[in-house]
Amino acid sequence: MPELEPRTPRKFKRYFEPFVGGGALFFSLQPTVATLSDMNGDLIETWKAVRDSLPRLLEDLKKHPYESDYFYQLRDADRQKGYARWSTVRKASRLIYLNKTCFNGLYRVNSKGQFNTPFGRYVNPTIVDEENLRACSRVLQGVLIEHRSFGDILSEAESGDFVYFDPPYAPISSTSDFTSYTSEGFSVSDQETLADLCRRLDKKGVFFMLSNSSASFIKKLYEGFRIETVQAPRAINSNASRRGKIAEFIIRNY
């Protein structure tokens, strides 16, 4: 985040974040008019629950024990036929619990869209961060939250708007493709589609900033734009000795 905020435009009309994830930049900027979206349906359900149903969400979160057997029972709920009928609050409570108690807080699904990160070994993890959730809910009031593809941004963003893209990163080695946050994954073709989208937004006069790995083909895809290399912390690696700061690209058209 220290690398991103100073690089945002000084002035812009509306804010869009099509791969919202945890929304760290959004919460840092707290723009007046914002649209947050993602292709991950469960994640969007969670954002909406925090915005619209916080008291019920907090009540449900407090029911979860920190136990391995319980974790796997709840994790595997998305394998059951009845999961689709779960309420938004119940799905959000499950996702937050799993995120707080799974290995390294890593959201990962298999090809069927089922959460498959293993149990994490923590000492008394904070499952219910009530103060933080209340603060998030206040900031989200009036914010548009949508479940949709990143490509939809082209028809909506206009000159003077600002779009921040934080897509699944391109792997930089044969062992670094550790996570898939939707069942479809994010392919080389998707990376190419996103780069083309950025060029089309640029022609419309839309400000964009994008984060990605320092993979060589990413640099080629965004040739002609402003590409800066920064050192960013990365904790997710099965080999502890390889955790730490790694090079990433921040790409802008301004």
Domain that holds residue 236: 5-39+148-252
Which pair of tokens denotes residue 111? 């090809």
Report the side by side order of strands in the sheet with 162-165: 144-147, 34-38, 15-17, 162-165, 207-213, 244-252, 226-234
Of the residues 76, 97, 129, the one at which a domain ends: 129
Residue 80 maps to a domain: yes
Residue 142 maps to a domain: no
pLDDT for position 184:
57
Task: Let me know whether 110 and 30 are in one domain.
Answer: no
Sorting pLDDT into bands at 50, 70 and 90, what band is 72? very high
Residue 64 maps to a domain: yes
Residue 104 maps to a domain: yes
Q: Is the separation of the CB atoms in 195 and 221 below 8 Å?
A: yes
**Domain CATH code at residue 124:** 1.10.1020.10
For 202-253, the pLDDT digits (tens) are: 999 999 999 999 999 999 999 999 999 999 876 554 455 555 688 999 999 9
Of the residues 97, 129, 161, the one at which a domain ends: 129
Helices in 24-67 by DSSP H: which ranges?
24-29, 41-52, 54-61
What number is the average pLDDT over the span 3-20? 97
The yes-or-no verdict on residue 13 having pLDDT over 70 is yes
Number of domains present in the structure of the chain: 2
Task: Let me know whether 172 and 200 are in one domain.
Answer: yes
The span from the CA of 65 to the CA of 74, in Å, is: 11
pTM exceeds 0.85, yes or no: yes
**Domain CATH code at residue 204:** 3.40.50.150
What number is the average pLDDT over the span 121-150? 97
Q: Is the separation of the CB atoms in 160 and 171 below 8 Å?
A: no
Task: Let me know whether 165 and 248 are in one domain.
Answer: yes
Please choose, from the candidates 60, 119, 131, the residue with its C-alpha nearest in 3D space to the C-alpha of residue 94: 60
Please choose, from the candidates 138, 156, 135, the residue with its C-alpha nearest in 3D space to the C-alpha of residue 37: 156
pLDDT for position 234:
66
DSSP letter for each residue of 209-223: EEEEE--HHHHHHTT
The yes-or-no verdict on residue 178 having pLDDT over 50 is no
For 143-165, the pLDDT digits (tens) are: 999 999 999 999 999 999 999 99
Q: Is the separation of the CB atoms in 201 and 246 below 8 Å?
A: no
Task: Let me know whether 113 and 46 are in one domain.
Answer: yes
Task: Let me know whether 34 and 86 are in one domain.
Answer: no
For 183-192, the pLDDT digits (tens) are: 557 889 999 9
Task: Let me know whether 63 and 93 are in one domain.
Answer: yes
Of the residues 101, 129, 157, the one at which a domain ends: 129
The position carrying tokens 């069942």 is 183
Residue 121 maps to a domain: yes
Task: Let me know whether 153 and 230 are in one domain.
Answer: yes
Buried b / exposed e along 146-159 (16+ C-beta atoms within 10 A):
eeeebeebeebbee
Task: Let me know whether 16 and 84 are in one domain.
Answer: no
Task: Let me know whether 34 and 154 are in one domain.
Answer: yes
